[in-house]
Amino acid sequence: MSAAHWRKAMNFTDAGRSWSGGRAAAPPRQATRTPPAGVAATSMGWLQSWRHIGTRHVAVLLAVLAYPWIVPPFFTYQIGGQSLVLGLIALSLTFLAGYGGMLSLAQMTVAGISGYIVAILGVSGTPEISLGWPWWLAVVLAIAGGSLAATLIGWLSVRTEGIYTIMITLAVGMAFFYLAQQNYAIFNGFQGFQKVVPPVVLGVDWRQPMPFYYLALFWALAGYLFVKYLIRTPFGIALQGVRDNARRMSALGYSPVAHRVAAYAVAGAIASIGGVLLVWYNGLITPGSVGTSWMINILIVAVLGGMRHPVGPFIGAVVFVLLQNFAIDLVDRERFNLVIGLVFLVIVLFSPDGLLGWWDALREWAKRRMAATRNSGMARTAVRASSLRTSSVSQVRPAGRR
Amino acid sequence: MTPLRRWFWVWLFGLPLLALAIWGIADNQRLFFATALNGLTLAALYFLVASGFTLVFGLLRNVNLAHGSLYLLGAYVGWVAGEYLGSWFLAVAAGFLFAALMGLLLQIGVFRFMHGQDLRQTMATIALSIIAADVALWIWGGEIYQFDPPRWIIGSTALPIVGKFPTYRLVLLAMAIVIGLALWWFLARTRVGMMIRAGVDDRAMLSASGIDVQMVFAITFAIGAGLAGFAGVVGGTALSIAPGEDTRYLLASLVVVIVGGMGSVAGAALGAVLVGVAEQFGLAYAPTYGIVFSFVIMALVLAFRPQGILGRRA
């Protein structure tokens, strides 16, 4: 069934897209929105999508490509590399929560499982446990294992809905943390694995800041474009349909459970790639890297950026990493958690759409002023064209703003 | 479920467990019963923590992920009170009252404004738990604190088969039973308890019949949070208090209510017994895989009865 069929069958209106069905008072902005034309994923889809590439896309791409040549290595690796890796893991959560309506806290666990597999099968500072297999085999198996784990977690958690998801995934993730901490035979207990470094391939040492940055950038871009593509495929649209109204979708003959589990699997693959990069970035993996605080940090990164668009997690990651590195100059080094907790609370209380939500509000305000002063039709067309690109309302704003 | 099918499930899980238990008793009688008793006392502690969690969820639909923080904060404040006032019983009371007050403030100051927005509430509780953990670390540091209970509680009691067993754990078990019965009496026999039960079933109807729902919510939240603080002092006496305990008891509450059924106090009791006993047996017989046992129970319940053993479909 094509997307166009689906829209017709669902009697697709823009107001119906808000996550909570009839419960929400639709934000006033939505009323002026037209249904996204680009959503129709026909064979023309790819051609059409080129038209969406604007100046800002090219500018951002050039900026991220040129970035490591301008800044010192610390910024390339510690800020750039880490933001991209965290962003990639958080992207998997954005996909799950923003487009699938499932807020999973276990994405860091999936990434951690993948990282542990790299350390256990590949080379690490603990040769008694690590098997020392070639890096490519370890990486492929890690991504496969991570995706499998994600699928199982998804299969468990889709048996219930809504708020239960967050509890079940939190419990699964915490259980994995305690298992990794207590178990010495497989996970090497509290110490974890040290010296898990990227290999030297094609004569390039991928642990050096610049190669690692480009490696992370490649996968981040790949993940971003993949998610952008996937949400316009029939699967992606059906998934958003399941998010908005699972009963209607199942009445139409779709299986909500299958779509949700598949979404978990896809998100798991993204998180697994992020997990491999993360273990290479840190050079080690310990139970602490999959502990509660990191599971929640991924949520913070995703919420901070905003879950309505796949670029959100990367923005959130940059802000998070900058805070992590420079908040200690403003406050005590020990009090980072307090700062990030407060930032998260402020975002949750005042901007459920994260920084993207603020950005949109700002832009809308500017547009409205422009329209008011000039009162020409052109400004309004600009609003409409720009709103085509922002995708639908995320789950994080269930009942609208009150 | 027909009785026949129910018996099928009982036998499917019951027989292997029974066989394992017989083997355990034959192998080492003392270890087996001591482990079982330890499991029950741990279950008592889990019940105290999880009953507040499940009560709050049942009525307010608020997954309070700061519940573990309330446990830890109650424990710390109780410890301070115990130091200054020199009485363990006052420490328990202080832990309960402080956590209840915190819960009241949270409900009145934060959650009231996000009513019906489950996910936002949950994320706000996550943010609050991060802040609370860091503030507690700031004030009390990373040291481990021990309580100073009255002399007669901390000795040991001779029991048949098991031999010497810490008296405090038996007191803990008794306390949980008393609290459980009190909670049952409160919910089943008092007017406020009736309002809470009515609210669990249908909140709109409750407010339509002229009841100040916000007040019922606040009372429930205060009781739920207070139970967490109470458990903090009581549990901190049995073990100790240190940073990180908050997530441990949050995990315990989560697993217990997922297994027992969200919003059901009886389910919390059943889930606590299952999880506590499984954890202690895991610790005794397969030390590094202890957590796997609780996890397997949770996975089995989710696979065959997603709403929890005593839960109702939402």
- What pLDDT, on a 0 to 100 scale, did the predictor assign at position A28? 38
Whether residue A370 is contained in a domain is answered as no
Whether residue B294 is contained in a domain is answered as no
Tens-digit pLDDT profile for residues B248-302: 888 888 888 888 887 788 888 888 998 888 888 888 877 767 777 887 888 888 7
Phi first, then psi: give them for residue A200, nearest 5 degrees. -95, 110
Q: What percent of chain A has pLDDT over 70?
A: 79
Q: DSSP class of residue A193?
A: B
Whether residue A164 is contained in a domain is answered as yes
Name the band, by pLDDT with cuts 50, 70 and 90, for residue A395: very low
Nearest one of B153, B162, B183, B152 to B47, comparing CA atoms:
B183
Whether residue A392 is contained in a domain is answered as no
Poorest-confidence range of A308-317, B17-26, B174-183?
B17-26
**Residues, chain B, total?**
314
Q: Do A163 and B307 touch (CB under 8 A)?
A: no
Whether residue A400 is contained in a domain is answered as no
Query: What H or E segment, with its residue span, contains residue B283?
Result: helix B265-285
A299 in reach of chain B (CB within 8 A): yes
d(CA A179, CA A173): 10
Tens-digit pLDDT profile for residues A233-245: 888 888 888 888 8
Choice between A389 and B27, residue whose per-residue pLDDT is larger: B27
B65 in reach of chain A (CB within 8 A): yes
Whether residue A149 is contained in a domain is answered as yes
Q: How far is A162 from chain B (nearest CA, A)?
A: 8
* Chain B residues whose beta carbon lies within 8 Å of the beta carbon of residue A184: 288
Tens-digit pLDDT profile for residues A144-185: 999 999 998 888 888 777 777 888 888 888 888 888 888 777
* Chain B residues whose beta carbon lies within 8 Å of the beta carbon of residue A349: 110, 124
Whether residue B203 is contained in a domain is answered as yes
Cα nearest neighbour of A333 on chain B: B138
Please give the ipTM for the structure prediction. 0.78
Q: Do A341 and B116 touch (CB under 8 A)?
A: no
Packed helices A377-389 and A354-374: angle between N→C axes, nearest 10 degrees: 170
Are A188 and A125 within 8 A, CB to CB?
A: no
* Chain A residues whose beta carbon lies within 8 Å of the beta carbon of residue B282: none
Token digits for A276? 């491999």
Whether residue A267 is contained in a domain is answered as yes
Partners of B241 in beta bridges:
B145
Cα nearest neighbour of B247 on chain A: A292
Coil vs helix vs strand at A375: coil
Mean pLDDT, rounded, for A216-236: 89
Q: Do B137 and A184 touch (CB under 8 A)?
A: no
User: Does A63 have pLDDT greater than 80?
Assistant: no
A333 in reach of chain B (CB within 8 A): no
State how far the alpha carbon of A98 is from the alpha carbons of A101, A151, A170, B288, in Å: 6, 18, 18, 37
- What pLDDT, on a 0 to 100 scale, did the predictor assign at position B96? 92
| Domain limits for position B59 | 38-246
Whether residue B263 is contained in a domain is answered as no
Q: Do B120 and A352 touch (CB under 8 A)?
A: yes
Cα nearest neighbour of A338 on chain B: B131
Q: What DSSP string describes A87-146?
A: HHHHHHHHIIIIIH----STHHHHHHHHHHHHHHHS--S-TTT-----HHHHHHHHHHHH
Coil vs helix vs strand at B28: coil
Whether residue A239 is contained in a domain is answered as yes
Q: Do B258 and A168 touch (CB under 8 A)?
A: yes
Q: Do A344 and B126 touch (CB under 8 A)?
A: yes
Whether residue B295 is contained in a domain is answered as no
Q: Do A160 and B123 touch (CB under 8 A)?
A: no
Q: How far is A174 from chain B (nearest CA, A)?
A: 7
- What pLDDT, on a 0 to 100 scale, did the predictor assign at position A333? 65
Are A99 and A115 within 8 A, CB to CB?
A: no
Whether residue A318 is contained in a domain is answered as yes
Whether residue B33 is contained in a domain is answered as no
d(CA B253, CA B299): 15
* Chain A residues whose beta carbon lies within 8 Å of the beta carbon of residue B61: 163
User: Does A288 have pLDDT greater than 50?
Assistant: yes
Identify the residue whose tokens are 């993207």: A356
Name the band, by pLDDT with cuts 50, 70 and 90, for residue A273: very high
Whether residue B170 is contained in a domain is answered as yes
The set of residues, in sequence order, having a beta carbon less than 8 Å from that of B269 and lying 6+ positions away, is: B47, B51, B180, B260
d(CA A323, CA A340): 8
Q: Do B130 and A337 touch (CB under 8 A)?
A: yes
Whether residue B164 is contained in a domain is answered as yes
- What pLDDT, on a 0 to 100 scale, did the predictor assign at position B83? 84
Whether residue B113 is contained in a domain is answered as yes
Q: Do B294 and A175 touch (CB under 8 A)?
A: yes
Q: Do B119 and A184 touch (CB under 8 A)?
A: no
d(CA B266, CA B184): 9
Are B73 and B232 within 8 A, CB to CB?
A: yes
Count of structural domains, chain B? 1
Poorest-confidence range of A2-16, A96-110, A256-270?
A2-16
Q: DSSP class of residue A203?
A: T
- What pLDDT, on a 0 to 100 scale, did the predictor assign at position A11? 42
Surface of B (77-136) touching A: CB under 8 A: 110, 113, 116-120, 122-124, 126-128, 130-131, 133-135
Compute the half-sphere exposure of residue B123: CA atoms within 13 Å on the CB side of its CA.
32
| Domain limits for position A293 | 82-340
The set of residues, in sequence order, having a beta carbon less than 8 Å from that of A8 and lying 6+ positions away, is: none
Tens-digit pLDDT profile for residues B72-126: 999 999 889 888 888 888 888 999 999 999 999 988 888 878 777 777 888 888 8
Chain A to chain B Cβ contacts (< 8 Å) = 123
Phi first, then psi: give them for residue B180, nearest 5 degrees. -60, -45
Q: How far is B153 from chain A (nearest CA, A)?
A: 31
Coil vs helix vs strand at B190: coil
User: Does A34 have pLDDT greater than 50?
Assistant: no
Q: How far is B302 from chain A (nearest CA, A)?
A: 6
Query: What H or E segment, with its residue span, contains residue A319?
Result: helix A312-330
Surface of B (246-275) touching A: CB under 8 A: 247, 250-251, 254-255, 257-258, 262
Helix/strand/coil (H, E, C) string of B57-116? Answer: HHHHCCCCCCHHHHHHHHHHHHHHHHHHHCCHHHHHHHHHHHHHHHHHHHHHHCHHHHCC
Nearest one of B218, B58, B228 to B129, comparing CA atoms:
B228
Task: Out of B63, B127, B307, name the one closest to residue A341 (CB).
Answer: B127
Tens-digit pLDDT profile for residues B23-65: 877 777 777 888 888 888 889 989 988 888 888 887 777 788 8
The CATH number that applies at residue A278 is 1.10.3470
* Chain A residues whose beta carbon lies within 8 Å of the beta carbon of residue B126: 296, 299, 344
Angle at B120 between CA B115 and CA B125, to 5 degrees: 95
Partners of B164 in beta bridges:
B158
Phi first, then psi: give them for residue B112, nearest 5 degrees. -60, -30
Count of structural domains, chain A? 1
* Chain B residues whose beta carbon lies within 8 Å of the beta carbon of residue A162: 118
Choice between A128 and B136, residue whose per-residue pLDDT is larger: B136
State how far the alpha carbon of B7 is from the alpha carbons of A221, A231, B2, B274, B306, in Å: 55, 46, 9, 19, 19
Tens-digit pLDDT profile for residues B140-191: 887 888 877 777 777 777 777 667 778 888 888 888 899 889 988 888 888 8
d(CA A155, CA A176): 17
